[in-house]
Structure 1
Amino acid sequence: MRIQGNLFVSRGGGMASLKISLASLLVATAALPAIAQDTETKEVSEQDDAVVEERVILDADNAYVLENENLVVAEGNVRAEYGERVLTADKLTYNRETGRVRAQGDIVITEPDGTERFAEEIETDSRLVDGFATGFSLRTPEGETAAANTAERRNETITELDRAVFTACELCEGQSTPTWSIRARKAVLNEETGMFTYRDAVFEIAGVPVVYFPYFSHPDPQSERRSGFLVPRFGASTKYGAFLQPRYYWAISPYQDLVVAPAFYTKIDPRLEFDYRKRFYSGDVNMNFSFTNEARFDDDGERLNNKAFRGHFFADGRFRISEDWDWGFAVEEASDDLYTDRYDVDGENDRRGIYYSQPKTLLSQLYTQGQAKNWYVDASIQTFDNLQAQGIAEDRIADVLPLINSQYDVDFGKYGYLSLTGSAAFLERVEGVDSRRASAGADWSTQRIIPGGLIVEPFAEARFDYYNINDFPTVDESNTITRGVGSTGVKLSMPFYRPGRNVDLLVEPIVMGAVSTGTPNDEPIPIEDGAFFELDTSSLFDANAQAGYDLYEGDKKLGAGISATARWKNGFEISGLVGRRWRSEADPAFDVPSNLDGTVSDWLVSASVEFNDYFSIDTKLRLDDDSLDINRLDTALNVNIEDIARTKAIYYRIDESITRSGVRQEGLFLLGEVFVRDNILILFELQREFEQNLNIRQGIGIGYEDDCSRFELVYERQGTTNRELGPSESIVFRFGFKTIGELGSRNFD
């Protein structure tokens, strides 16, 4: 039997105004009063109270009216459709006298978003203001599930669950216990606030009780963000003892929020931390800052001086000026060199703005950046704070006021490409040399393929540099230096390609020859931007191999090499390049580490092996030009095989003959995780310096990971010493749960 009816609901209340809840999921049953009045579709005119017309369709094997009991009954494969919401049950009953609606037997309610609700029996009034269900459970498309012995709707916004269980883990076939769950005596869903609250809640892992909460709450996973307490951080350390950091999330508006996180320690005074975000129409701002009134302390928590206000401030923002232009800022400040290490403050090495900071160096910058199809400009002001005990004194670190880079490209079609560049750098120091540089240049190149397959790429470049320098002893009284530099030459390559049944081969000899300005580095220009340059395969065929502006590679030079690539049909690929560079004259401005000293460079080799996205190996070698001994070796291995291993390994070795310190360097960085069986993985980390016989950082642990959670138990050891902060050992617990965030500890020493 198929019955259609019209549902009329007042705008002032009723189902049309309800959000998703237990009662609103039963909305199809409210059609029964209309069906009982008339089984045919009726036209209803507007009355004093405005109404909203909704169509309800009811299918059942049998439908009848019990006049003595004043009941309307639908039985057998009952299916009620209300818009995109569907209810199925064995039986539906409507009491015309009391206005109560009851559904019984294998009840399933499917929402438009795919959420499914199940119950053994449901009863509600015709207005759906209150309702009651037994054997209640739900499952969302995202995998969240909840169950309760009974579910009672007390009013239009409150639904109470008795003996409730909540989890975000989907149960696989044959699995009866989720990875994690919250089991509570009472649970309440408040649709107005969008919060789940629990009384006498127990957090369970694999069915084993782990933590008891007299009271616990979290947002409805499908609700909008809102204020409330986040899961606290807690742990222990020899530096500051046991600690607890509760966190309160304040949703100030739809466009801004604030996390307030006081941290309490057993050995030292509390610290207050804030994390603020705000989104504007044209951009956004992020701030993280903290402060405390405490003395400096060592790795054992012993105070070293008197208490004082200490803290840090990290902030960044980026805003759109127009379609092509942005501006932004980044601020990084700390009250003392070791503050971030003493309190384990995160974010010190995060990128903020358009420039990266060096390790243990705080960078503040104000910048603007513009880019279109054929031009680019950026301008920035930068200041630095050195957090290292050794190295350059902070007063000798230059402030950049400002740095400007620009490029404009012109396409001449068959006549090639022209790039016009401009740059300026104004550097000021409290102690040391102040310099101001302005440069303008032009680069032209084109490409032709001549008969026989030879690729010919002629090029030319020219640049003018102006310097104004103070406090540099070899500069004359005018403090100004000007120079013009340039190069012209050609790059030749001849690719040979041989396709095969299983593997394709590509071999390409490459030669670059250029004639440049002679002795361009005779002028007494302080080296600011090229002091740590080293020639490798990426710049082997450049007219001017030296990066930056202060040094320029002049005279005649020749770069030659050969590249080869083999590609298998199954996705396996091997490629490599070997070459070296020759110069007509030695330039004393270039040192041995730069690989531009003398007239012949060391041999340069690069090689890579790749197999789909599963693994890759990249290697770079620098071989001595006379003995072919390995002067430098850099190798990186990446493995990413789903459910087997995720690993990254980097090995480096630098001979003392090419290091600026004259000390041999050799080290290994290893980080990864390997699955030893379903969902169980071994975690490992190692950062070792072989010459110092020092493990800078090491860790080993075990973890569990599935679609809804991740657990880690890791032993870590920090082997370095930074003034009064020395080596430390820790046991680290990390827990992550889908929909409710992280729970657990950070460091347990």
Structure 2
Amino acid sequence: MPLPFAPPGKLGRRGTRCIRGQTTIAIGIAAALLAAPATAQVQAPESTFSTLIADRVDITEDGKLVATGNVEALYGDTRIKAGRIIYDDDTGNLQIEGPIVITQGENALVLADSAELSTDLTEGLIRSARVVLDQQLQLAATEINRVSGRYTQLYKTTASSCEVCAAHPVPLWQIRARRVVHDEVERQLYFDDAIFDVVGVPVAYLPRLRLPDPTLDRATGFLTPSLRSTDELGFGAKIPYFIKLGDSRDLTVTPYLSTNRTRTLEYRYREAYRGGDIEVNGAFSKDDIVDDPRAYLFAEGEFRLPRNLKLEFDVELTSDDTYLLDYDYSDKDRLDSALTISRADRRQLVVAELIAYESLRSSEDNETQPFLVGDLTWIEKFQPRFLGGIARFELDGHGHQRNSNKDVVGRDVTRISGALDWRRDWKGPWGVLFSTAAQAQMDHTSVYNDSTYPDDISEFTPYGLAEVRWPWIKQGARAGHVIEPVMQMVWSPDDGKDTPRDESTQLEFDEGNLFSLSRFPAGDALERGLRANIGVSWTRYDPTGWSLGTTVGRILRERDLHQFAGYESLDGLRSDWLAGVQLRLPNAMSFTNRTLFDDAFDVTKNELRFDWENEWIDIGSSYIWMEPSVAEDRDAVTHELTVDGDWQVNDRWLTTVDVRYDIELNRSASARFGLEYSTECATFDFSIRRRFTSSAQIRPTTDYNFEIKLAGFGDTGSGRQRPSRPGCRL
């Protein structure tokens, strides 16, 4: 609120000064002040209040109010700083002399030499002005007209988001126009007779051009085009067009045209709801690769339902096996369309899922692969009143169906399982931790189109577990150490009924299932017999911030029941040794290694993972070595090195790399390299992708992509985030 001030009778011809040498006057009621009695004080109404702050305020003989020296005028969210402001009560206008700085909210800034404006700042003329929108786009004009408080007309205008100064007088790009109209309500810029310059060279003339201002998130219009060149499709361009369908939905269509090789229309539809959202991506193509039309559709969404339920769906469809790879839409070789309903809280989990699969691999037949899979899981946790500990009830349902009706290869299966388990922990002397657990599981499986199995198979399987852990902790001045040996004794019956194993087809042995009741990932197979899961872990914590952790363990069995035939790391009376090592360094760098080896130290599997992430680098690399395995459909040694990551070289350069190299065959399987250069006003993105693999359906190809993004049009974030030119400021 402004301070009360003396009426004009006490101001005199030379004015007066208020607190800290400044005078505050309501210029919107200057005429009322001139007529006020000598003893009156007038306060301006807040709804129409305009405030003038200056070192000196004079009232001339003809009734004009003249403010000079550090002048500031405020009206709503608009603030004017000037060398001199003259208010004429007869015309109701402000004459402003520069240098002038006008700020409107947080998104608009005007610099000018002189101006004539109405007192509400909605009408007027500004000369030799420069407008800066959202600290990104600047428009320099010889003259600016304010119309109806909504439109700003700029004449003989140059628009650019590049910084221009004496050291760099020519911007990287600019748009010169005879006139530019800024609609502040629609947040649009309209250019008349526009010429697009690159480094001072005209490259395009556009009689009419409409672009969104930087404060607008979404507006109908063309987006930045991109160029693409591939061995399969030749040289082409993508020109996306964005259509705003409302505040909560939009559609983007992208024609993709190449040198007589393809005619493609890509699309993306998005819609947000009060309780969810959906997104649909797809394309239609006619090209020289195949004779028939090609298409794909990927859609996903999620919705919040009553009773804390969540609905999710995912649709993946394609016309042929290589379309996604040819156009670089996806690297997936198995499509899965899913519908899921779930609910989760601290005591209950309910998940119902239906999945439709389609394999794009030439080595797999969709007639004999399960194409429709349904799963139901219901888990309830509770505390038994008399036993203590935690109990859990789990109900699972599963079913899968194949397209083929042939015997054996067309086998369909449904299964329902119910399990009740209980676990309780105790703390014994010397810090020893004891645990005991029990589980009872009932399974019923129905088999169709397979004469090698009975139609119905039912079995009951009890489990018992006893566990001992003895953690040793040492905290010293130099480091802290934690050593924890663990031994589990697990029992379940040796014998069990033979059931089809369609889900547990790929087995892994790692730290996640070393101490578990069963190494099988699904309920179609259960681990049996008396066995001991043993292991020890050691972790060192250093005060400087790094840590080293190791885990070593294996499984010992009373009898070899041949449940893991073909999986050498798990088969036999003794499994392979599992050794895991993890090193974390204080500079966000980590190394993880997992190895499986036998008693003779012959390695069967080894994986080394390296990760490094900080402000400038985000790199991950994996080294994998695996022996051949018939059970895992691996007929040769797997020996690969993968590298993927980003390196922000400096404020302007960003490099990306994604390489998969087959060391055994001494060749790359795939490689992608990207290079991005950013300035304060543009981003140039170039990438190369090479696919080396070949088959009867896939040929090695090389793709090139190039895209330019101009800053300053549409929402590009809050303020300027890109690097500035040395010695320049916007």
With the length of structure 2 as denominator, give the TM-score of the two structures: 0.86
- 1:422: Cα distance to partner? 0.9
- 1:180: Cα distance to partner? 5.9
Please list the CA deviations of residues 499-539 of structure 1 after superposition, one character each: whole Å capped at 9, or x if unmatched.
Answer: 1223211111111111112123xx33111111101221211
Q: Distance between the aligned counterparts of 2:658 and 2:202, measured in 1?
A: 28
Partner of 1:23: none
| Match status 1:153 vs 2:149 | no
Q: Secondary structure at 1:619's aligned position in 2?
A: strand
Partner of 2:543: 569
Q: Distance between the aligned counterparts of 1:114 and 1:449, measured in 2?
A: 63
- 1:664: Cα distance to partner? 0.5
- 1:382: Cα distance to partner? 1.4
Distance 1:145 1:600, change over 3 A: same
- 1:598: Cα distance to partner? 0.8
AA aligned to 2:536 is I
AA aligned to 1:242 is F
Distance 1:263 1:490, change over 3 A: same
In the alignment, is the contact (CA less than 8 A) between 1:143 and 1:170 conserved in 2? no
* 1:93-172 equivalence runs, <5 A: 93-113=86-106, 115-126=108-119, 128-139=121-132, 143-153=135-145, 155-156=147-148, 157-162=150-155, 164=157, 166=159
Q: Distance between the aligned counterparts of 1:178 and 1:613, measured in 2?
A: 42
Q: Distance between the aligned counterparts of 1:225 and 1:72, measured in 2?
A: 44
Partner of 2:48: 54
Task: Give the one of 59, 64, 69 matched to 1:71.
Answer: 64
- 1:495: Cα distance to partner? 1.2
Task: Give the one of 26, 30, 33 matched to 1:38.
Answer: 33
Q: Between Structure 1 and Structure 2, how many residues are aligned?
A: 682
Please list the CA deviations of residues 317-362 of structure 1 after superposition, one character each: whole Å capped at 9, or x if unmatched.
Answer: 2221124202232221112222222333x3x46xxxxxxxxx3111
In the alignment, is the contact (CA less than 8 A) between 1:132 and 1:150 conserved in 2? no
AA aligned to 1:328 is E
Q: Relative to structure 2, which stretch is displaced further, 500-509 or 262-271?
A: 262-271
Distance 1:316 1:538, change over 3 A: same
Please list the CA deviations of residues 84-114 of structure 1 after superposition, one character each: whole Å capped at 9, or x if unmatched.
Answer: 5432211101233433312222322344437
Partner of 1:325: 309
Partner of 1:647: 619
AA aligned to 2:378 is S
* 1:717-732 equivalence runs, <5 A: 717-732=690-705
* 1:240-389 equivalence runs, <5 A: 240-292=233-285, 294=286, 297-298=288-289, 304-305=290-291, 308-344=292-328, 346=329, 348=330, 359-389=332-362
| Match status 1:394 vs 2:346 | no
Q: Distance between the aligned counterparts of 2:514 and 2:495, measured in 1?
A: 20
In the alignment, is the contact (CA less than 8 A) between 2:28 and 2:50 conserved in 1? no
- 1:438: Cα distance to partner? 0.4
Distance 1:203 1:701, change over 3 A: farther
- 1:177: Cα distance to partner? 7.4
Partner of 1:487: 463
- 1:550: Cα distance to partner? 1.2
Partner of 2:495: 519
Distance 1:155 1:577, change over 3 A: same
Q: Relative to structure 2, which stretch is displaced further, 378-387 or 734-743?
A: 734-743
CA root-mean-square deviation: 3.2
Q: Secondary structure at 1:592's aligned position in 2?
A: coil
AA aligned to 1:455 is L
Distance 1:224 1:697, change over 3 A: closer
AA aligned to 2:693 is T
- 1:41: Cα distance to partner? 5.8
Q: Distance between the aligned counterparts of 1:43 and 1:676, measured in 2?
A: 60
Distance 1:718 1:129, change over 3 A: same
Q: Secondary structure at 1:452's aligned position in 2?
A: helix
Please list the CA deviations of residues 597-622 of structure 1 after superposition, one character each: whole Å capped at 9, or x if unmatched.
Answer: 11111010111111246211111111
AA aligned to 1:655 is E
- 1:162: Cα distance to partner? 3.9
| Match status 1:593 vs 2:567 | yes
Task: Give the one of 417, 427, 435 matched to 1:439.
Answer: 417
Distance 1:732 1:317, change over 3 A: closer
Q: Distance between the aligned counterparts of 1:707 and 1:638, measured in 2?
A: 31
AA aligned to 2:440 is A
Q: Which runs of 5+ in 1 are unaligned?
A: 6-28, 45-50, 299-303, 350-358, 744-749
- 1:486: Cα distance to partner? 2.4
Distance 1:686 1:412, change over 3 A: same
Q: Secondary structure at 2:505's aligned position in 1?
A: coil
Fraction of identical pairs, as percent: 22
Q: Secondary structure at 1:438's aligned position in 2?
A: strand
Partner of 2:429: 451
Q: Secondary structure at 1:554's aligned position in 2?
A: coil
| Greater RCO (CA < 8 Å, at least 6 residues apart) | 2
AA aligned to 2:605 is R
In the alignment, is the contact (CA less than 8 A) between 2:229 and 2:705 conserved in 1? no
Partner of 2:510: 536
Task: Give the one of 665, 679, 686 matched to 2:652.
Answer: 679
Q: Which runs of 5+ in 2 are unaligned?
A: 6-23, 35-39, 405-409, 717-730
In the alignment, is the contact (CA less than 8 A) between 1:736 and 1:742 conserved in 2? no
Q: Distance between the aligned counterparts of 2:343 and 2:486, measured in 1?
A: 35
Q: Distance between the aligned counterparts of 1:460 and 1:585, measured in 2?
A: 21
Task: Give the one of 532, 542, 560 matched to 1:558.
Answer: 532
Please list the CA deviations of residues 295-315 of structure 1 after superposition, one character each: whole Å capped at 9, or x if unmatched.
Answer: 6x44xxxxx54xx44311221
In the alignment, is the contact (CA less than 8 A) between 1:535 and 1:546 conserved in 2? no
Q: Distance between the aligned counterparts of 1:177 and 1:461, measured in 2?
A: 78
Q: Secondary structure at 1:628's aligned position in 2?
A: coil
Q: Secondary structure at 1:447's aligned position in 2?
A: strand
Partner of 1:617: 591
Q: Distance between the aligned counterparts of 2:57 and 2:180, measured in 1?
A: 37
Distance 1:403 1:701, change over 3 A: closer
AA aligned to 1:607 is V
Please list the CA deviations of residues 237-290 of structure 1 after superposition, one character each: whole Å capped at 9, or x if unmatched.
Answer: 332233233222111121211112222232235222221112223222211222
Partner of 2:8: none
AA aligned to 1:152 is I
AA aligned to 1:446 is R
In the alignment, is the contact (CA less than 8 A) between 1:231 and 1:742 conserved in 2? no
Distance 1:76 1:697, change over 3 A: same
AA aligned to 1:318 is E
In the alignment, is the contact (CA less than 8 A) between 1:182 and 1:201 conserved in 2? no
Q: Distance between the aligned counterparts of 1:641 and 1:208, measured in 2?
A: 38
| Match status 1:90 vs 2:83 | yes
Distance 1:430 1:677, change over 3 A: closer
Q: Distance between the aligned counterparts of 1:511 and 1:174, measured in 2?
A: 75
AA aligned to 1:427 is H
* 1:18-37 equivalence runs, <5 A: 32-37=27-32
Q: Relative to structure 2, which stretch is displaced further, 406-415 or 674-683?
A: 674-683
- 1:117: Cα distance to partner? 3.4
Q: Distance between the aligned counterparts of 1:560 and 1:271, measured in 2?
A: 59
With the length of structure 1 as denominator, give the TM-score of the two structures: 0.83
Task: Give the one of 170, 190, 196 matched to 2:189.
Answer: 196
Q: Relative to structure 2, which stretch is displaced further, 331-340 or 187-196?
A: 187-196
Partner of 1:504: 480
- 1:119: Cα distance to partner? 2.4
- 1:665: Cα distance to partner? 0.2
- 1:42: Cα distance to partner? 4.0
Q: Distance between the aligned counterparts of 1:210 and 1:427, measured in 2?
A: 64
Q: Distance between the aligned counterparts of 2:270 and 2:157, measured in 1?
A: 35
Q: Distance between the aligned counterparts of 1:102 and 1:674, measured in 2?
A: 54
Q: Relative to structure 2, which stretch is displaced further, 634-643 or 213-222?
A: 213-222
